[in-house]
Amino acid sequence: MACEVESAYIQPTDTRPDPTIQVAQGIPVIDLSPLDSGDKSQVNQLVEEVKAALKEWRMFFVVNHGIPADIRQNADEKIAQFFALPLEEKLKVQRDFKDTLGYFNKELTHNTKDWVEVYDYFVNSPVELPANAEADCPKMVTLANKRPENPLGFVEACDAYGKEAERLGFRLLEVIALSLGLPSKRFQAYFENSGSFNRVNHYPPCPSPSLVLGKGCHTDASALTVLATDNVSGLEIKRKDGKWLKVNPLPGAYIINTGEAMNVFSNGYYESLEHRVVANTNQHRYSMGFSFGPASHVMVKPLKELVNELNPPKFKGFMWGKFYRSRRNSNFLRLNAENLEARHFKINQ
């Protein structure tokens, strides 16, 4: 990472960080332990809490989430060791345009470089994906994780954490299904053996944090994201009224937010969260975002139980693998187009 801010990192004036924004107060903290107790009234209460949190905030903290602390701690340690390696070592597992997995330090959001280095890996590697994002692309390719040799134990630590994040994702999908009045396993088949990936982020200290973003404003393509952060602040969220707020980490908790796929599946009932990450002058920040999406072949469209004459579908369907491909391409290239989002599939009513 350069020690000076190159022009490619500098945000347009209207998207630069605002140092005056406030810390969010009252983000719901949701305890998942009722899922283990099996107590029906407690589960019903949990379902209502999740519904209220997603409607109001599009996100919440989750505690008693079931991810073992030692698995998380081991992943955190190995990740810090990986990013501390010399650049040439990390570049041995570099991502490229055809193969979107591995290490990358030239990530773009809305055509501006993010002040971050990342390592992406599938939780169920290998994964079959469309060769490109063209609507009529019949060719599929198989992508597998790039496995760095160093540090020792990195791959195993990442795999173990990824499985736990996915397990939490399935539990949350059950609660969300219930909150939509659906059977708890309604989403299960769509998400089995998916191409969901975990993104490991390192935001290095930045000499000019007022000019750059660690990650530009975006919505996640996923149905939901399980975000693990260290104790360094950086995440900011956009409320429905357009106001930005900082999210301070809650030690031991994970941050859950909804993305584009859930927006479409729920026919707009659960909207996706706009968010960004700011940089800072003197602290390294590490995070992991498990992006839980359906399998490549799944047609993402409003669930049939949620639409009727009075509430017609708000979105056209799209094949998940192609949507995913398009979003990933925009991380590499300066495209003359906006990020693909659910609104691009909106049906005019």
Task: By CB under 5 A, name the binding residues for Fe ion.
Answer: 220
Q: For Fe ion, give the closer residue by CB, 186 or 327.
A: 327
Least distance from C-beta 138 to Fe ion, angstroms?
31
3-state percent helix, strand, coil for the chain, nearest multiple of 5: 30, 20, 50
Least distance from C-beta 223 to Fe ion, angstroms?
13
Q: For Fe ion, give the closer residue by CB, 76 or 220.
A: 220
Taking the CB of residue 25, how many other CB atoms lie within 10 A of it? 7
Amino acid letter at 270? Answer: Y
Least distance from C-beta 276 to Fe ion, angstroms?
8
Q: For Fe ion, give the closer residue by CB, 220 or 271.
A: 220
Supply 291's token pair: 């992006």
Collect contacts of 134-138 with beta carbons under 8 A, ≥24 apart. 134/322, 135/322, 137/322
* 31: three-class secondary structure by DSSP: strand
Q: For Fe ion, give the closer residue by CB, 74 or 258.
A: 258
What contacts 20, CB < 8 A, 6 or more positions away?
none
Least distance from C-beta 218 to Fe ion, angstroms?
6
Least distance from C-beta 45 to Fe ion, angstroms?
29
**Sequential DSSP letters for 75-139:** HHHHHHHHHTS-HHHHGGGB--SS---EEES--EETTEE-S-EEEEEESS-SEEEESSS-TT---
The Cα–Cα gap between 105 and 288 comes to: 15
**Torsion angle, CA of 81/84/90/94, rounded to 10 degrees?**
90
Supply 206's token pair: 């930045």
Q: For Fe ion, give the closer residue by CB, 133 or 235.
A: 235
Least distance from C-beta 289 to Fe ion, angstroms?
6
Q: State how beta strands 244-246 and 235-238 pair.
A: antiparallel
Q: For Fe ion, give the closer residue by CB, 220 or 260.
A: 220
Q: For Fe ion, give the closer residue by CB, 34 or 214.
A: 214
Q: For Fe ion, give the closer residue by CB, 114 or 220.
A: 220
Amino acid letter at 226? Answer: V
Least distance from C-beta 26 to Fe ion, angstroms?
22
Least distance from C-beta 227 to Fe ion, angstroms?
8
**Over the Cα atoms of the chain, what is R_g?**
19
